[in-house]
Amino acid sequence: MMNKVRRNRNLVTDENGDARITAGFVVAGGITFILLAVILFTDLPPIGPDEGELAPNLKGEVHYLGATDWVDFELYEEIDSGWDADSEPEAKWFFIQFMDTDCGYCWEEAGPMSQLEEAFGGRVTFISVALSLDIPGHSASREEVIAFQEKSSLIECKGGDTDCSSRPGDPHNWAYFNDLSQSTLDPWGVQGTPFVVIVKPDGIVAWNQAAHSGEEVGNALYSMLPQVGE
């Protein structure tokens, strides 16, 4: 008789355990379904360099004016996905310039870049992505990128035979992102340098230079920034 009671108790225990396991699977399945529904039905923009898309990430090392070392940087850690233009008009935008220290056009653009940063630096985060394009005479190094940024003496700029200290403009007091490996070319659709993409505080591309041939980047930036105080 006692053995039958024990067996019955074991049976009840096993059935309760099975019920709890089944309930656990049901709950887990429900949570998974909800998560999938959120992912599938949330209106997330595609990632890309075109206007209205979420800008591709920039993850690597940057150099700041006067620094002794390169430091880690990630664009996605800087953006605010919940940004609202009406309630946060002072949030910083991003001005991302793709350049090559051996590029003659980038050399000439260094002066206007200084002027743009002086005019908009309080409201815009400037980033220069330093590339080394597969063009004869283009073979930039990290030392050359720093010399170009800081206007320090190094005879390697503008095709390899020009002193970097003689470039137009002032020393650039914003981040220079190291992409000598050209990892950003395809994700950002870079066809040549200099090339500019303006990104909103939430990471959405607001302006792609390739889509606005002939438009002055300073005018474009000014026209898009929310007017604070209005």
Q: For residue range 136-183, what is the model confidence (pLDDT) as tens digits?
A: 888 999 999 999 999 999 999 999 999 999 999 999 999 999 999 999
Task: Report d(CA 107, CA 36) in Å as an integer.
Answer: 49
Comparing CA positions, the residue from 157, 124, 150 lying closest to residue 63 is 150
Residues 25 and 88 in one domain: no
Name residues whose C-beta falls within 8 Å of residue 24's C-beta, 6 or more positions apart in sequence: none
**Per-residue model confidence (pLDDT) at position 18:** 53
Give the torsion sign (CA, 187, 145, 208, 123). Answer: positive
In a domain? residue 229: no
In a domain? residue 159: yes
Residues 30 and 105 in one domain: no
Residues 82 and 145 in one domain: yes
In a domain? residue 53: no
For 29-78, write each residue's pLDDT tens digit.
555 454 444 444 457 799 999 999 999 999 999 999 999 999 999 999 99
Residues 71 and 163 in one domain: yes
Residues 63 and 35 in one domain: no
Residue 95: how many CA atoms within 13 Å on its side-chain side? 23
Comparing CA positions, the residue from 221, 198, 188, 193 lying closest to residue 110 is 193
**Per-residue model confidence (pLDDT) at position 40:** 45
Residue 28 has pLDDT above 60, yes or no: no
Categorize the per-residue pLDDT at 227 as very low, low, confident or very high, splitting at 50, 70 and 90: confident
Residues 69 and 120 in one domain: yes
In a domain? residue 216: yes
Residues 31 and 130 in one domain: no
What range does the domain containing 34 cover?
1-42
Residues 96 and 32 in one domain: no
For 95-107, write each residue's pLDDT tens digit.
999 999 999 999 9
Mean pLDDT computed over 11-28: 49
Residues 75 and 156 in one domain: yes
Which residue type, as a one-letter code, is found at position 185? L
The token pair that represents 31 in the structure block: 């949570």
**Count of structural domains, the chain:** 2
In a domain? residue 37: yes
Residues 29 and 139 in one domain: no
Peptide bond into 194 cis (omega under 30): yes
Residues 63 and 36 in one domain: no
Name residues whose C-beta falls within 8 Å of residue 213's C-beta, 6 or more positions apart in sequence: none
The token pair that represents 161 in the structure block: 């035979």
Categorize the per-residue pLDDT at 20 as very low, low, confident or very high, splitting at 50, 70 and 90: low
Q: Domain with 123 in it: what CATH number?
A: 3.40.30.10
